[in-house]
Amino acid sequence: MFVAGLDLATRTYFSAATAIIAIPTAIKISNWLSSIWAGVLYVSVALLFIVGFLACFTFGGFSGLILSNCTVDRCLHDTFFVVGHFHYVLSLGAVYTVIASLYHVLPQLLSLHANDHLGRAHFAVFFMSSNCLFLGMHTMGLLGMPRRVNDYSATLHRHHSLSATSSVGLLVSLAIMFGALLLVVPSRLWTY
């Protein structure tokens, strides 16, 4: 795939598979939102990351619906748009849920409560950085930036700078997360 393009039948298959995936994904998202809506919630850091996951996963799903149109997919298939879509759905989906589980499970396992203010700061920096990074990839893909190249047009310099700065923001959020999880306080009574 790195040296040859895809033929029409393969591109049609990927477009059809993307459209078929949309139906169970929409059902999953509506189930998750219904669970949150119907529950009595304590707005913890873990819940913030779950809501962030839902927002990113939903946006990635909408970009997948764009790719399910075979005509549009022909224009966007070998661009950064697909990279942004893939990372929104899979990478952010996995990372958000792992971080939420760390904030939720570690206090129960260790009888310690993570620093709430640093946890909320971690969420804010992580959410803004990850969205700037991968939304920039969507924008570059719409502007025609191909993937699998090591150089880019000078007109896309601003978008690449935003993506690079956002990736540094993700590293900063990782440092904040370690601070939030290591600067622990004794656990309070949980009100679940």
Q: What is the mean pLDDT of the chain?
A: 83
Q: pLDDT band at 89, cuts 50/70/90?
A: confident
Cβ-contact 84, 138 below 8 angstroms: yes
Beta bridge partners of 147: none
DSSP string, 71-117: HHHHHHTTBHHHHHHHIIIIIHHHHHHHHHHHHHHHHHHHSEE--HH
Per-position b or e across 142-161, b if 16+ CB within 10 A of its CB: eeebebeeeeeeeebeebbe
One-letter amino acid of 177: M
pLDDT at position 148 is 78
Confidence of residue 3 (pLDDT cuts 50, 70, 90): very low
pLDDT in tens, 19-65: 788 788 888 888 888 888 877 778 889 999 999 999 998 888 888 88
Share of the chain above pLDDT 70, in %: 92
Q: Which residue has the tokens 């169970």?
A: 24
Whether the CA torsion 104, 106, 108, 109 is positive or negative: it is positive
Q: Residue 95's pLDDT band (boundaries 50, 70, 90)?
A: very high
Q: Which residues, including other chains, have CB under 8 Å from residue 128's CB and lie 6 or more apart?
A: 169
All structural domains of the chain, each given as residue ranges with its CATH number in brackets, are 8-186 (1.20.210.10)
- What is the Cα–Cα distance from 118 to 123, expressed in whole angstroms? 9
SS3 185: strand
